[in-house]
Amino acid sequence: MLIYLRVLKESFNFAINALINNKLRTFLSLLGVTIGIFSIIGVLAAVDSLKQEIKGSISSLDNSTIYLMRFSFGPSDIPQWKREQFPDVTFEEYQYINRSMPDLKAASFILNVAPETIKYEDNSISNVEIAPVTNDYYDIEELQVVKGRFYNEQESVAGAPVIVIGDEIANSLFGSSEPIGKKIRLYGRKLTVIGVLQKEGAGLFGNSKDTAVILPVNLVRRIYGDNNKSSFPAIIIKPESNIDIPEFIATLKQKVRAYRGLKPDEGDNFFVNQLQGFTDFIDNITGTMSTIGGFIGMFSLLVGGFGIANIMFVSVKERTNLIGIQKALGAKKRFILFQFLFEAIILAIFGGLIGLLLVWLISIFASQFTGDFKFILSSSNMFWGMFSSTIIGLIAGILPALSASKLDPVEAIRTGM
């Protein structure tokens, strides 16, 4: 056992000395592996970061949350021309679901409308996200109001001229003064600020409730009307916990079909989108991106491996005389084999470490310019990067190492001379 350890140690020392004595060759070999590892880990880190940001953006909603609307979150087998004929969900359907659906924790009717400009005295903010919702939305999305309150059911039904604003909106319009009770102008009307939401930071594409306002949906319905094509409604449904979700969805579909008078042979003219399905769809997309990026990175790494193999064959050729002398002095085949094998693996490991370092530095640098979006360099990605690098080094070095170990000492010395 000690003999093998000594052979390994001496082979390792020979490999290190060879790398140090051939700096340019070592640098060129490292470059290929570094680029390969950088490509693989860079892509995986970017995909993981994107996935984390998407999940963080929808973390306030439970995966069981359901969206009833005429659009689908993901791909659909229904032809587009047919989907375009689907009717919008209505406020009356929302009321029907709210009173008749079993195991329902909360439901909210929402309108998706275009951004608007809001004003307070001489201050104005353009392109503000408007969120017209019923009061139940507060419980579904678990909103946090740090000042004032959220509007109640009576204010929601009556479409009272009240509004809840995001943190950045409050700071931009009112500065250090108290926003509660102030009146801001929106849709040509004066709305009283009754609440300010807790700061949550930027979302995936810059959208955030910090730059949004929430107001009773019935107030906006009176302005837009129920048949305005510039807005589209949806019903957000949150079932009770620990229930059979597929059964709940089946019951929901049955009730909506009955309310719309659809015949048994007619298909659904609406979509029931579950947030879990959306997250699964995102996971599939990011998984595909990881696979494609991994393959691209592996090709880069293979190029680096070919570079190592080429350099190692050149190294064997240059040191043929030395190999012959070592063998003539009693060096075993395994000593020569380990010597060149270690050299290839060390090259690959160092190249991998440099690639990881570059990804880490770039992720820190990029995070400084992307606000709340943070790049993630996970330990699993680091492990697989280094594992891939080591395997490439092993594969690239095995043939040159075998060819060196099988040289005849007499022929090797004669060839070297």
Are residues 241 and 101 part of one domain?
A: yes
Dig out the tokens for 84 from the structure.
């375009």
Residues 291 and 328 in one domain: yes
CB 351 within 8 A of CB 34: yes
Residue 63 confidence (pLDDT): 66
Containing structural domain, residue 305:
2-57+281-416
DSSP states of 295-319 as a string? HHHHHHHHHHHHHHHHHHHHHHHHT
Are residues 296 and 265 part of one domain? no
What is the band of 258 on the pLDDT scale with cuts at 50, 70, 90? very high
Tens of pLDDT, residue by residue over 32-56, are 777 777 777 777 777 777 766 666 5
Instruction: Identify whether 105 is part of a domain.
Output: yes
- Please indicate, yes or no, if residue 71 is contained in any of the structural domains: no
Co-location of 329 and 378 in the same domain:
yes
Look at residue 82 and tell me if it is in a domain.
no
Q: Which two tokens stand for residue 290?
A: 């990881």
281-319 pLDDT per residue, tens:
666 776 777 677 667 767 777 777 777 777 777 777 766
Residue at 251: amino acid letter: T
Spatial CB neighbours of 400, under 8 Å, sequence gap ≥ 6: 309, 312, 313, 315, 316, 340, 344
Contact 198, 148 (CB under 8 A): no
Give the confidence band of 338 by pLDDT, cuts at 50, 70, 90.
confident
Instruction: Decide: 340 and 312 in contact? Cβ < 8 Å.
Output: yes
Residue type, 117: T
Q: Choose one of 269, 296, 322: the last residue of a domain.
A: 269
Residue 75: inside a domain: no
Pair 366, 407 in one domain:
yes
156 and 217 Cβ atoms separated by less than 8 Å: yes
Q: Both 265 and 336 in a single domain?
A: no
Whether 263 and 147 share a structural domain: yes
Task: Judge whether 73 lies within some domain.
Answer: no
Q: How confident is the model at residue 155 (pLDDT cuts 50, 70, 90)?
A: very high
Q: Is residue 65 part of a domain?
A: no
pLDDT in tens, 369-394: 665 556 777 777 778 778 887 888 88
Q: How many domains does the chain have?
A: 2
pTM: 0.60
Specify whether 261 is located in the same domain as 315.
Answer: no
Query: Taking the mean position of all CA atoms in its chain, how far away is CA 265?
Result: 41
Same structural domain, 136 and 255: yes
CB 137 within 8 A of CB 236: yes
Looking at the fold, whether 353 and 306 belong to one and the same domain comes out as yes
Claim to verify: residue 231 and residue 176 sit in the same structural domain: yes
| Same domain flag for 240 and 351 | no
Largest CA distance in the chain: 101
Q: How many residues does the chain have?
A: 417
Name the pLDDT band for 194 (thresholds 50, 70, 90). very high
d(C-alpha 136, C-alpha 153), whole Å: 8
